Structure 1
Amino acid sequence: MKCISCQDLYDEDAAGTCKECYEEANETEEELKREIDELKAKVAFLKFWSPTPSARSHPASFSDVVLVASEDTSAGAPVAVPAHKAVLVSRSPVFRAMLENEMEESLSGTIKIGDVSYDALRTFVNYLYTAEVCLDEDMACDLLILAEKYQVQHLKDYCEKFLVSKLNWDNSVMNYTFAHQHNAKHIIDAALTLITDNMDKLTTREEYVELVEKDPRLVVEIYEAYLSKQVNTAAQKDSSRKT
């Protein structure tokens, strides 16, 4: 019998397609499901916040606002990044708390963002409007920090995926440390796997020496993960020999 996809002959007991085409179709289906899930998450992120009854009674509180980066000291006064309160409160529970209550930021119309450059802040605000960004590793780190600080989970997940895709042995210890500082679990897990796969080279790295001095707790975690992997590997080998 011929496969309806590739027209090659295949086992008549199969149903319509050969094994290769069937597996390829399954992979395509899984990829489409992932893309659909990502689009659904993006749509959900871009939906406007639904105002509460108390917010409806004070529509003037959602006028325009500006954000200012504290690190931007070039050419005198820092350049403000304009935004709309309605967008900010839709994307971030932290901004919502600032702007729905009579905090300084709500009253003044200016939100000062500490420890961030103008470029990173402008990119961050643009993402809140579009859910799109062009990343390099430095910008991904800056945005991940902002996303964690202001609880923009959609952006944090995006930055984590990007940084995981850029992981290699040379940057694994640095990223592992960074991820712990900012609760980036996907990066922690991926970096830890790389590190424990290369334990024989770990102690020669400058980043490792610095980590021992600055945060020995993380060094202990690395060795615990390595020992656990060794135990699991030994158990699997023992099980395979028995079978």
Structure 2
Amino acid sequence: MTDNAYRVDTTSRLAQWRIDNLASCSYRKSDPFKIGRWNWRLVLEKNRNLFIKLFPELSSSNKDSPPIVSFIIRVVSSLGGRKALVHPEIRDKQLKSSDDFVWALEVPLTGKFIIDLEFLDLKTASPNGGESSSVWTDGFTQKDLRATALSSLGKMFSESIHTDIVINASDGSIGAHRAVLAARSPVFMSMFSHELKEKEMSVINISDMSIEDCQVFLSYIYGNIMDQNFLDHRLHLLRAADKYDVMDLKEACHESLLEDIDTSNVLERLQNASLYHLPKLKICCMQYLVKFGKIYDILEEFNAFIQSADMDLVSEVFNEVLSVWKGF
């Protein structure tokens, strides 16, 4: 038995355990795999039925905060054209031990199959009995922005204190401060340092952003962006960060977009990864589509993607598909 028999492959919020042969044993526990803050294990037990168990490995440091998990789990058989058995979606279930989630399959499985586990959310219970919070939305802003922006900057922006430049978005205008914009963006610095119309007229026209997107972008620059606003506007923020060379925002968007890839957004994420040169996001999207087989779940959308996407990107996807087929 090789070590590969126990390895679980992961990307973003997805885990897959490939089983080549279960006939020789009645019990198998996977190697630990990390999703969110926890190491997880999958267990197979074969008796009259096949039982699949999922549980976190809790240590002394996290035993008092077991995860509250939402997920979808499937068993995909290679026989008969990738037939799948799907467990009903699990929502907000706290898992502490190997007995907290047990799936009994009455359908006999022979040959190769894949256990496909997609995490929809991971939460931790509040220590004071309050509402649980997602480990994926507690945000970079609470941790990082405190170190890079003073709270007074946010007040200057939100209360329009001594603003000295107007930004015209596609559907509205907002006041800002040259010094703050120049300090955060080399592009704005260049505008105000040379004899350009922005310096002379004290106006910046950003016609490719709505006023709402512009406000969220400026909220980031001033250090008082809200986590949910960041999540809701990531793609617009990514475009603005790339255009105005705000590299810390671009990287924050890059890291965040890695966390919740699914079939509804993977093709859009792949296009943006190619457009804005985001290598980790590109690799994860490719793996999600090809290595983890999700391309079969969205064939109609993928056919439309082929018709409209950059041909070099389409070629990369097909080359990845060919390399996986050769190795299978």
What is the TM-score when the length of structure 1 is the normalising length? Answer: 0.63
DSSP 3-state at the match of 2:245: coil
Counterpart contact for 1:174–1:207, Cα < 8 Å: no
Where does residue 206 of structure 1 map in the other structure?
Answer: 301
Write the distance in 2 (CA, Å) between the matches of 1:38 and 1:118.
22
Q: How does 1:74-89 map to 2 (within 5 A)?
A: 79-89=172-182
- Residues paired across the two proteins, number: 183
Q: How does 1:108-187 map to 2 (within 5 A)?
A: 108-130=201-223, 132-133=225-226, 134-135=228-229, 139-187=233-281
Q: 1:86 to 1:187 in 2, by over 3 A?
A: same
In structure 2, what residue type is equivalent to 1:226?
Answer: V
Could you give the per-residue CA deviations for residues 72-117 of structure 1, whole angstroms, max 9, x where no partner exists?
1xxxxxx321111110111000001101111110111000013110
In structure 1, what residue type is equivalent to 2:201?
Answer: S
Q: How far apart are residue 139 of structure 1 and its match?
A: 1.1
Counterpart contact for 1:46–1:129, Cα < 8 Å: yes
Counterpart contact for 2:146–2:223, Cα < 8 Å: no
Write the distance in 2 (CA, Å) between the matches of 1:157 and 1:193.
20
Q: How far apart are residue 171 of structure 1 and its match?
A: 1.7
Q: 1:192 to 1:82 in 2, by over 3 A?
A: same
DSSP 3-state at the match of 1:170: coil
Where does residue 64 of structure 1 map in the other structure?
Answer: 164
Structure 2: tracts of 5 or more residues without a match: 1-58, 64-139, 151-162
Deviates more, 1:133-142 or 1:107-116: 133-142
Write the distance in 1 (CA, Å) between the matches of 2:246 and 2:176.
16
Structure 1: tracts of 5 or more residues without a match: 1-19, 25-36, 48-62, 73-78, 235-243
Q: How far apart are residue 124 of structure 1 and its match?
A: 0.5
| Identity rate, percent | 26
Could you give the per-residue CA deviations for residues 33-52 of structure 1, whole angstroms, max 9, x where no partner exists?
xxxx99896467438xxxxx
Counterpart contact for 2:216–2:229, Cα < 8 Å: no
RMSD: 3.2
What is the TM-score when the length of structure 2 is the normalising length? Answer: 0.48
- Structure with more helix by fraction: 1
